[in-house]
Amino acid sequence: MVKKRIISGALLVVVALVLIQTGGVVLLAAGTVIGCIAYRELLTACSAAGDGKYSRALEYAGYLMIILWHVIIYFKINARSALVWLAVSLMLFLIIYVLTFPSFRDTQVMSSFFCLLYGPFLLSFVSLTRGAQMGDVTVWLIFISASVCDVGAYAVGVLLGKHKMAPVLSPKKTVEGAVGGVVAAAAGGLLYALWVVFRGSADQSVLYVFPIFCALCSVFSMVGDLAASAIKRDHIIKDYGNLIPGHGGVMDRFDSVLFTAPLTWMLTIYINGGTK
């Protein structure tokens, strides 16, 4: 299992590096597919499928809105389009609820809308960040904040961990590990900032901005991890899926990225003077 986890993890890193470095329509297409998979995993976990011949209507509506959202990102339509997309998504789910009644319960409609926002929408901020000005530099902070924190928290937790951080949600996580994860993320942010300055991609202000930002984001990445665990606990499942050997599903692997991606996009917009 450990060998399988390491191999699949290494392959994921390679694929992620290629997709993010390439950016553009390639990253958007991958983001659309990954978003649809995440949506499906969440729907299954939340038991949001309906009854009868319309049982997958909300699922298909979600796929449609995920595709539409990534088309909006591709054409760089202004930020107000997000509000329109949110409103149309909710109205579409409610229209299906009415037209197929009583195939779905109200809780399933609400769960479907939540799954659309929690998985695909938050994940799409990877593409949004990459497509923004200076996004080729800042997009990597999404993964430094989440992945380096995860590795640091695990290492410190194993070596020094004594005090449980969230004993009900995740018994193996410790306060010492969390602190180690924050420090590791800050160190990762600093090293990346040094490389960025050396390469001439940004000025020296990133030497303090990136470490502080990565430390802050690492805290949110841990919250994202625990939020995904809470949903699994509520629905008594071990993993969201089995797509990635040794890791589970898309939601199991990218749960912490769901929180760091929007924050990194906000930083990118701030650096660019508040305009998209």
Helix (H) or strand (E) holding 172: strand 170-174
Confidence of residue 72 (pLDDT cuts 50, 70, 90): very high
The stretch 50-59 carries a mean pLDDT of 82
Looking at the predicted structure, is the pLDDT value of residue 75 above 80?
A: yes
Q: Which of 123, 122, 75, 65 is nearest to 276 (CA)?
A: 75
Confidence of residue 213 (pLDDT cuts 50, 70, 90): very high
- Flag whether 276 is in a domain: no
Q: Residue 248 forms beta bridges with which residues? A: 244
Confidence of residue 3 (pLDDT cuts 50, 70, 90): low
User: In this predicted structure, what is the pLDDT of residue 5?
Assistant: 65
Please give the tally of structural domains in the chain: 1
User: In this predicted structure, what is the pLDDT of residue 222?
Assistant: 94
Task: Give the whole-angstrom CA distance, residue 253 versus residue 27.
Answer: 18
pLDDT for 242-255, tens place per residue? 887 767 889 998 99
- Flag whether 237 is in a domain: yes
- Flag whether 228 is in a domain: yes
- Flag whether 122 is in a domain: yes
Q: Average pLDDT, whole number, for the chain?
A: 90
User: 6-15, 17-26, 234-243: which has the minimum mean pLDDT?
Assistant: 6-15
- Flag whether 133 is in a domain: yes
Q: Which of 203, 255, 262, 244 is nearest to 9 (CA)?
A: 244
Q: What are phi and psi of 102, to 5 degrees?
A: -105, 45
pLDDT for 145-189, tens place per residue? 999 999 999 899 988 888 888 888 888 889 999 999 999 999 999
- Flag whether 181 is in a domain: yes
The stretch 229-248 carries a mean pLDDT of 85
What CA–CA distances, in Å, run from 140 to 126, 130, 135, 147, 261?
Answer: 9, 9, 9, 11, 10
% of the chain surpassing 70 pLDDT: 94
Judging by beta carbons within 10 Å of its beta carbon (0-12, 13-18, 19+), is residue 230 exposed, middle or buried? middle
What CA–CA distances, in Å, run from 103 to 9, 56, 57, 183?
Answer: 40, 10, 9, 50
Q: Which residues have a Cβ under 8 Å from the Cβ of 213 and sit 6 or more positions away?
A: 141, 145, 189, 263, 264, 267
Task: Give the whole-angstrom CA distance, residue 224 versus residue 145.
Answer: 12
Q: Domain range for residue 148?
A: 2-271
Annotate 139-153 with DSSP letters as a single string. HHHHHIIIIIHHHHH
- Flag whether 143 is in a domain: yes
User: In this predicted structure, what is the pLDDT of residue 276?
Assistant: 45
Confidence of residue 1 (pLDDT cuts 50, 70, 90): low
Looking at the predicted structure, is the pLDDT value of residue 274 above 60?
A: no
